[in-house]
Structure 1
Amino acid sequence: MDLLDKYKKTWESQPEESKKFSKVEIYKLAHSKSSSIVKWIFIVGLLELAFWLTINMLIPDSFYKVYEDLNLENQVNFFMILHYLVIIVFLYFFYLNYKKISAVDNTKKLIHKILKIRNTVKYYVYYNLAIVFLSSFILNSVLMSDSDKLMKIMNPDNLSVDINQLITVTIISQIIAVLIFMVLLWLFYKLIYGYLLKKLNKNHKELIKLEEL
């Protein structure tokens, strides 16, 4: 049983004339916990952005050589820049959510604000999964569209290889790689943001009960 649950249990056992004051105290505690959770959502978002920027800087140039050979460097850079810009926009909303929830002064507004924050986080997770799928689909579609160049890059020694077989193997390997990455990304979001949202949802339910009393 956490502090909010103990506070509520104590409040319910109090005489009727004391409950009004205790209700305010319970709201203050719920408000403080919600504000802290939203602050952590913003901090995790910042750490995530720093992590991906660091990974991007550590990746050797040779990793992108296949895209350069296929003249896909501009497309890759476009998706990368777009991705970082959208993340920054979401981080801005996370920060605004934190500032706004800190200034909320009544239960109904806090309930409404928690709902908006929850939706913002969900949209952020959906966007990240969608951009991985979309960018991979577009880049690989272009990659497979020029079979001659693909054969030259994937088979530089001019070995006897069936082009259809090569394309099939490449497509299957790319699909598997993208699926694995999306699953790992989903598990990461489920673990980190899912945990924070679970705590936020618990506060939301407690505030609804408090509002009904």
Structure 2
Amino acid sequence: MDVLENYKKAWSKQTEVAEKVSTNEIYKMAHSKSSSIVKWIFIVGILEFIFWITINIFTPDSYSFFEIYKDLNLETLINIFTILHYIVIIGFLYLFYKNYTKISIADNTKKLIHKILRIRKTVRNYVYYNLAIIVLTSIIINIVVFSDEDKMNKFFNPENLTMSINEMITLSVISQLIALVIILALFWLFYKLVYGILLKKLNRNYKELIKLDS
């Protein structure tokens, strides 16, 4: 059973004469746990950032996607987009770090509750951003490809099969929508598993603090 829950139960049962656990001690426990959770959010964010940077650096240029981007003259666009994406991610990591430093010095229940709310919002915005960037990248690439018939043939019909433009567009849209749904589902499950667990623990502390404050 959660240690904080044990303290809460002990506190609720104690008499005024035989007080074993004070409100201040419960607050300190919640504060310590919240600070630890936020630290892990920052650490996981750093590890995730390093993982994607490593994948990007060590993936050979001969890999099919990179070859397709080169053939379609999209390499510069993708590189610019990747750099901007990493800048935004670094911004989120900075916010994670600032959240950790700020929650570590919260000196009362109301301030801690307020900071927990901000941390939850930051993490959720981070998750939504990463999911949105997948959709946005797909849209931008499709706009560039669909604007040029030669690029469209090279991208969606590399085998030069006999089909009309409408058939090619229909087939490409359906296949991409299926792929996009699968990719988004996988990323959502990843973020739900990793950050969701941490947010769930943080939310539990938040509810305990609300009860304590009332």
- The change in CA–CA distance for 1:136 and 1:152 in structure 2 (over 3 A counts) is closer
Q: Does 1:172 align with 2:191?
A: no
**CA offset digits 1:43-70 (Å, max 9, x no partner):** 1101110111122123231321222222
Question: Structure 1 residues 168, 23: closer, same or farther in 2, change over 3 A?
Answer: same
Q: Identity percentage over the alignment?
A: 64
How far did 1:21 drift?
A: 6.1
Q: Which moved more, 1:68-77 or 1:179-188?
A: 68-77
Superposition deviation, residue 149 in structure 1: 3.0
- For the Cα contact (< 8 Å) 1:75–1:139, is it kept in 2? no
Structure 1 residues 5-20: aligned runs within 5 Å: 5-16=5-16
The alignment partner of 2:22 has SS state of helix
Work out the number of aligned pairs and report it. Answer: 212
- Residue 190 of structure 1 is matched in structure 2 by 192
- Structure 1 stretches lacking a partner, 5+ long: none
How far residue 129 of structure 1 moved from its aligned partner, in angstroms, is 0.8
Equivalent residue number for residue 112 of structure 1 = 114
Change (3 A) 1:18 1:95: farther
Q: What SS is found at the alignment partner of 1:16? A: coil
Aligned partner of 2:148 among 121, 146, 149? 146
Residue type matched to 1:44 in 2? V
Residues 8-87 of structure 1: pairs in structure 2 closer than 5 A: 8-16=8-16, 22-62=22-62, 63-87=65-89
RMSD: 1.8
Q: Distance in 1 between matches of 2:67 and 2:4?
A: 55
Written as runs of structure 1 = structure 2, the 5 A alignment for 1:89-168 is 89-152=91-154, 154-155=156-157, 158-168=160-170
TM-score (norm: length of structure 2): 0.92
Query: Is the CA contact (8 Å cut-off) linking 2:39 and 2:100 kept in structure 1?
Result: yes
Normalized per residue, which structure has more helix?
A: 1
> Per-residue displacement from partner, 1:142-172 (whole Å, max 9, x unpaired)?
1122122332455556453434323322222
Q: 1:18 to 1:111 in 2, by over 3 A?
A: farther
- Structure 2 residues not aligned, in runs of 5+: none
State the alpha-carbon separation in 2 of the partners of residues 81 and 3 from structure 1.
44
Secondary structure class of the residue paired with 2:38: helix
Cα deviation per residue 1:112-140 (whole Å; 9 max; x = unaligned)? 11001010001111111111111111111
- Alpha-carbon spacing, 1:71–1:211, altered in 2? closer, same or farther (3 Å): same
CA distance in 2, matches of 1:89, 1:38: 16
Q: How far apart in 2 are the matches of 1:143 and 1:18?
A: 75
Counterpart of 1:206 in structure 2 is 208
TM-score (norm 1): 0.92
